[in-house]
Amino acid sequence: MKKLCLLGLFVSLASQSVLADNLPAPIENKDAFISNLMKQMTLDEKIGQLRLISIGPEMPREMIRKEIAAGNIGGTFNSITRDENRPMQDAAMRSRLKIPMFFAYDVIHGHRTIFPIPLALASSWDMDAIYHSGRIAAKEAAADSLDITFAPMVDISRDPRWGRTSEGFGEDTYLVSRIAGVMVKAFQGNGANAADSIMASVKHFALYGAVEGGRDYNTVDMSPLKMYQDYLPPYRAAIDAGAGGVMVALNSINGVPATANTWLMNDLLRKEWGFKGLAVSDHGAIFELIKHGVAKDGREAAKLAIKAGIDMSMNDSLYGKELPGLLKAGEIEQSDIDNAVREVLAAKYDMGLFKDPYLRIGKAEDDPADTYAESRMHRSDARDVARRSLVLLENRNQTLPLKKTAKIALVGPLAKAPIDMMGSWAAAGRPAQSVTLFDGMTRALGADSKLIYARGANITGDKKVLDYLNFLNFDAPEVVDDPRPAQVLIDEAVKAAKDADVVVAAVGESRGMSHESSSRTDLNIPASQRELIKALKATGKPLVLVLMNGRPLALLDEKQQADAILETWFSGTEGGNAIADVLFGDYNPSGKLPITFPRSVGQIPTYYNHLSIGRPFTPGKPGNYTSQYFDDTTGPLYPFGYGLSYTEFSLSDMALSSTTLNKTGKLDASVTLENTGKRDGETVVQLYIQDVTGSIIRPVKELKNFRKVMLKAGEKKVIHFTITEDDLKFFNAQLKYAAEPGKFNVQIGLDSQEVKQQSFELL
Whole-angstrom distance, CA of residue 189 vs CA of residue 205: 23
44 is catalytic: no
107 Cβ neighbours under 8 A, 6+ residues apart: 137, 138, 141, 146, 149, 150, 151, 187, 198, 427
Structural element, H or E, at residue 15: helix 2-18
In 118-150, which positions are buried (b, 16+ CB within 10 angstroms) versus exposed (e)?
bbbbbbbbbeebbbbbbbbbbbbbbbbbbbbbb
Peptide linkage before 204 cis (omega within 30 of 0): yes
Cβ 283 to ligand BGC shortest distance, Å: 4
Whole-angstrom distance, CA of residue 571 vs CA of residue 386: 6
Question: From the CB of residue 105, how many other CB atoms can be counted at a distance below 10 Å?
Answer: 23
Give Cα 157 distance to the centre of its chain: 11
Binding of ligand BGC by 203 (CB under 6 A): yes
Cβ 515 to ligand BGC shortest distance, Å: 10
Burial class (CB in 10 A: 0-12, 13-18, 19+), 468: middle
Whole-angstrom distance, CA of residue 152 vs CA of residue 373: 27
SS3 state at 204: strand
Asked if residue 18 lies in contact with residue 33, where contact means CB atoms within 8 angstroms, the answer is yes
Cβ 360 to ligand BGC shortest distance, Å: 19
Binding of ligand BGC by 150 (CB under 6 A): yes
**In the 3-class helix/strand/coil scheme, how is 657-708 assigned residue by residue?**
CCCEECCCCCEEEEEEEEECCCCCEEEEEEEEEEECCCCCCCECCEEEEEEE
Cα dihedral value 208, 210, 215, 220, nearest 10:
-80
User: Which residue number has the CB closest to ligand BGC?
Assistant: 150
What DSSP designation does 145 have? Answer: T
Nearer to ligand BGC, 203 or 455 (CB): 203
Give how many residues touch ligand BGC by CB under 6 A.
6
What DSSP designation does 596 have? Answer: P
Cβ 77 to ligand BGC shortest distance, Å: 6
Whole-angstrom distance, CA of residue 202 vs CA of residue 176: 12
Cβ 217 to ligand BGC shortest distance, Å: 9
- Which runs of consecutive H residues, i.e. helices, occur in 539-647? 556-561, 575-583
Member of 196, 240, 338, 516 binding ligand BGC (CB under 6 A): 516
Of residues 265 through 284, those in contact with ligand BGC by CB under 6 A are 282-283
- Dihedral sign for Cα atoms in the order 417, 422, 423, 424: negative
Of the candidates 87, 655, 703, the one whose C-alpha atom is nearest the C-alpha of residue 358 is: 87
- The one catalytic residue in 147, 172, 230, 282 is 282
**In the 3-class helix/strand/coil scheme, how is 384-406 assigned residue by residue?**
HHHHHCCEEEEEHHHCCCCCCCC
Binding of ligand BGC by 106 (CB under 6 A): yes
Asked if residue 552 lies in contact with residue 120, where contact means CB atoms within 8 angstroms, the answer is no
Nearer to ligand BGC, 84 or 282 (CB): 282
In 66-83, which positions are buried (b, 16+ CB within 10 angstroms) versus exposed (e)?
ebbbebbbbbbbbbbbbe
Cβ 474 to ligand BGC shortest distance, Å: 19
Structural element, H or E, at residue 278: strand 278-280
| Catalytic site positions | 282
Positions that interact with ligand BGC (CB under 6 A): 106, 150, 203, 282-283, 516
